[in-house]
Amino acid sequence: MGAFENQLHDYNPGIASNGLFWTMAVPASAVDVNPGAGRASFTASNMPMPDYGDFVNSILPGPSVPAVVSFDIRWFEIQDRTNRTNTDEGFAGEFVVTKATAEWSSRQDGFEFRSDPAATSVSEHAIVGHERNGVFF
């Protein structure tokens, strides 16, 4: 059985003409970050997001189905702090290990998905931070 044989949905913004993939601009109001306080949120409601069906189709790129996604992700409650610098790779950052919750849904013709409520989330690993790299290093 292939790695993507059972995959039915792959929501991503696609590949831009400059080669940038799975990345898109979001309104500033969608993001609220305060790394020093160990909190952040990333929220969207009914954001247009094509469904490519599976990973292979999404990188070809193959056909997609119009869909919308909504999510509310929140980082909170400081667990630990760490700083990392790697001069060989050219990055440095201050990071705060936190807890996090997430709630996610999608909707398209003939299909709808909704995760369990955010309150039921279990944090395995969540980090808020500030990284410097490239010309900002």
Burial of 11 (0-12, 13-18, 19+ CB in 10 A): buried
Mean pLDDT, the chain, whole residue set: 93
pLDDT range class, residue 135, cuts 50, 70, 90? confident
- What's the rounded Cα separation, in Å, for the pair 12 and 23? 8
In the chain the beta strands, taken as DSSP E runs, fall at 31-34, 39-48, 68-86, 91-108, 111-114, 126-133
Is 24 a residue whose pLDDT tops 70?
yes
Residue 14 gets the label, from left (phi > 0), alpha (psi -120 to 50) or beta, of left
79-86 LR contacts (CB < 8 Å, sep 24+): none
Is 3 a residue whose pLDDT tops 80?
no
Per DSSP, 92 falls in state E
Is 1 a residue whose pLDDT tops 70?
no
The pLDDT tens digits for 64-112 are 999 999 999 999 999 999 999 999 999 999 999 999 999 999 999 999 9
pLDDT at 5 (0 to 100): 75
pTM to 2 decimals? 0.84
The pLDDT tens digits for 105-120 are 999 999 999 999 999 9
**Cα 57 to chain center, whole Å?**
20
pLDDT at 120 (0 to 100): 96
